[in-house]
Amino acid sequence: MRLHGQHIHGSPFQVPLNMGAIADDYTRRLAAAEAAGNSPDLGGAEGCGGDFVVVTGASSGFFDRAVNLVGSLHHWAPGTRIIFYDLGLSRVQAEDVRTWEDVEVRAFPFAMYGQHLHVDENKTRNGVQGAYSWRAPILINVTEEHKCMLWLDAGIEVRAALTTVIGHIAADGHFFVTNGWPSPNKFTHPGVMTWFGLDEDKNLFVSDPAGGRRNEIEACGGIQGYRRNGVMRQEILTRYYRCLMDAECAAPEGASKMNFRQDQTVLNVALADYRRGVPLDSPQYFASLPHTARKYWEHPVPKHEFPVREDGTFQPCDKGQVEILESQLCSDMKGSS
């Protein structure tokens, strides 16, 4: 993994855990997700109650990728309602989207928010491209309107039915996936840590009395699912929103694309802030992990070998694609809006 620009390997983690209870809870969650995703009302009143939407958005430069995403949704999830946020489309592109089946177009109200939410990097603080902060009010607003939602970046392509993903949102209350990086990493900007009142060594690692330290695999900001009354909507999405609405947190002094990954950094620091109050040996801690990280979460083991090249770069779709619950989605990070 990389920390402060250096490659290091974590130590074996030796805190005794009740993996039996965690495994039982995980088995129960998988069964509940399978049942909810295949039920006509998506889990009933305790789940999505039949109220599920996919949300995405794009500016003009990402329009071709958004076309591909929506087309893949029409193929694999026909009839699913899609909310499409216009983040700076041309007039012709916006008119085109309005003709798409099952798609509602909304113009994002940039004038209501601070400069750091703008998509044009020439208008943003520190040249950090919008800090992707516009995603936070979109997620908050949509979860206020609908019981369950899944945000997908424009550069994502659906490659299988979304049944299991929707089922996890209904049963678990959220859905996160990994992108291959550990957290913290060289993009964990200290300004965000300071805003949250966190210390990297104390709060982003879990200490082991034997001397080892454990970190987690980073959650991807481009794929986020929430149920309105879910724990993660209250605990993570609200933290994420508060930070991204404040330029001091969303675009901290000295931030650049070399040391900061905008809202993805914020999402993972928010997760770390939440986890420090959750016992490591509890099913609640395990449930907060990205779904694609859970099958690798075993103890005691050395830290995972993360697929990060020597120059620190990572391409999610090489070597067979990122797998999300048996290859349901594949994220092209360069195509994310």
Mean pLDDT of 60-65: 93
Q: Which domain holds residue 118?
A: 2-335
Tell me the pLDDT band of 54, cut-offs 50, 70 and 90.
Answer: very high
What is the Cα–Cα distance from 235 to 238, expressed in whole angstroms?
6
Q: What's the pLDDT at 169?
A: 96
Distances (CA, A) of 313 to 136, 148, 303: 26, 33, 19
Number of domains in the chain: 1
- Indicate the average pLDDT of the chain: 79
- Nearest residue to 62 via CA among 153, 151, 196: 153
Q: Global pTM? A: 0.81
pLDDT at 67 over 70: yes
CB atoms within 10 A of CB 145: 11
- CATH number for the domain harbouring residue 46: 3.90.550
3 forms beta bridges with: 6
Query: Mean pLDDT lowest for which of 4-13, 111-120, 132-141, 249-258?
Result: 4-13
Query: Mean pLDDT lowest for which of 163-177, 208-222, 256-270?
Result: 208-222
Q: What is the DSSP string of 258-315?
A: TT--HHHHHHHHHHHHHHTTS-TTSHHHHHTS-GGGGGG--SS-PPP-----TTS---
The pLDDT tens digits for 182-230 are 777 788 888 999 999 987 656 565 544 444 455 678 899 999 999 999 9
What is the Cα–Cα distance from 54 to 225, expressed in whole angstroms?
9
Mean pLDDT of 245-256: 88
